[in-house]
Amino acid sequence: MENTTGQFMFVLNGLNETATNKHIYFAFVLIAYLFTVFVNSSLIITIFLDKMLHEPMYIFVSNLCINGILGANSFYLRFLVDLLSEVNLISYCECLIQICFIFYYVFCEYTSLAVMAYDRFIAVCKPLEYHSIMTPQRVLHLLLFTWLFSFTETTVGALLTSRLPMCGRHLKKIYCSNWPLVKLSCVETIGNNIYGYVLMFIHVSEALLIIISYVHIIRTSLQSKSGWAKFMQTCLPHLITLINFNVALLFDVLDARYGSTQKLQTIRNFLAVEFLIIPPLLNPLIYGITLTKIRSRILKICGHRIKAIG
């Protein structure tokens, strides 16, 4: 049995195939990271500066972008360091920290999408009551619930993993992930497995609430042309974001638990990082392009900048 404290190090075997092209990978990864941070930050700043966008829907979009930056940082920063390193090692402490950030990003993303579905349900199905229900206090409470609930889920998961003694040190990924780490344990992981099922129940319940919300939203929207236009304008971006994140996360979960080791490591790496790369990159683009108020505000800012340069 090996000790999990002190200078215990894990080997990230998923980085083996990047050994010969690390500088090329580094350039592409750095560009992707900077662009992800730029588009999310641009949307956050646009919403923050424009008082016309200080509505619940746009505040929740801003929160989603903040979480997207967190998710990008939890993967990209360490990965960029690893690409420039001669050895693919990560300490036990750094591994747990990365797991915590990734945990928090996933839980916060899913809960945020559930809260946004609730907001859209009220907006479409109860438009006359919307402003009396979605008050600034209610919005703040929903945001606090999203952050604190995700933090609690993360803390419990991290504590359960941190108590496990390790008998292996080779992780077949390009970053630290909870399930591969748990599988290296020397002891039974019943507590971790039970907690995994608890998390599955919680987030499946959230998924069911989202589905029920959208059944009502679509049913209400189909009753009039204006209702359907409102759905296409404000609900479709959220639906695309939801599907995008679920599909990306599902790939990682299925590959981690049931994936074949015969599969090319490059394919496994892509499946493992898709939920950390694609949603944070696409979410601000989806909302920035499809939401009229945000799009017009961004175009107005760009127009002023072009005139100033000219």
Evaluate whether residue 4 is within a structural domain: no
Phi, psi of 9 (to 5 degrees): -125, 145
Residue 53 domain boundaries: 9-309
In tens, the pLDDT along 84-139 reads: 887 788 888 999 999 999 999 999 998 999 999 899 899 888 988 999 999 999 99
Evaluate whether residue 52 is within a structural domain: yes
pLDDT at site 133: 94
pLDDT at 272 over 50: yes
* Region for 6 from its dihedrals, namely left if φ exceeds 0, alpha if ψ lies in -120 to 50, beta otherwise: left
Is the separation of the CB atoms in 252 and 102 below 8 Å? no
Evaluate whether residue 2 is within a structural domain: no
| DSSP per position, 259-304 | --TTS-HHHHHHHHHHHHHHHHHHHHHHHHHH-HHHHHHHHHHHHH
Question: Binning pLDDT at 50, 70 and 90, where does residue 303 land?
Answer: low
Say what percent of the chain tops pLDDT 70: 89
Is the separation of the CB atoms in 183 and 166 below 8 Å? no
Evaluate whether residue 89 is within a structural domain: yes
In tens, the pLDDT along 254-264 reads: 766 665 555 56
| CA–CA gap between residue 270 and residue 28 (Å, rounded) | 14
pLDDT at site 118: 92
Evaluate whether residue 218 is within a structural domain: yes
User: DSSP state, 163?
Assistant: T
In tens, the pLDDT along 288-302 reads: 777 777 877 777 766
Evaluate whether residue 98 is within a structural domain: yes
* Full-model pTM: 0.87
Domain count, the chain: 1
Question: Binning pLDDT at 50, 70 and 90, where does residue 1 land?
Answer: very low
Evaluate whether residue 3 is within a structural domain: no
Question: Binning pLDDT at 50, 70 and 90, where does residue 156 land?
Answer: very high
Evaluate whether residue 1 is within a structural domain: no
88: domain CATH number?
1.20.1070.10
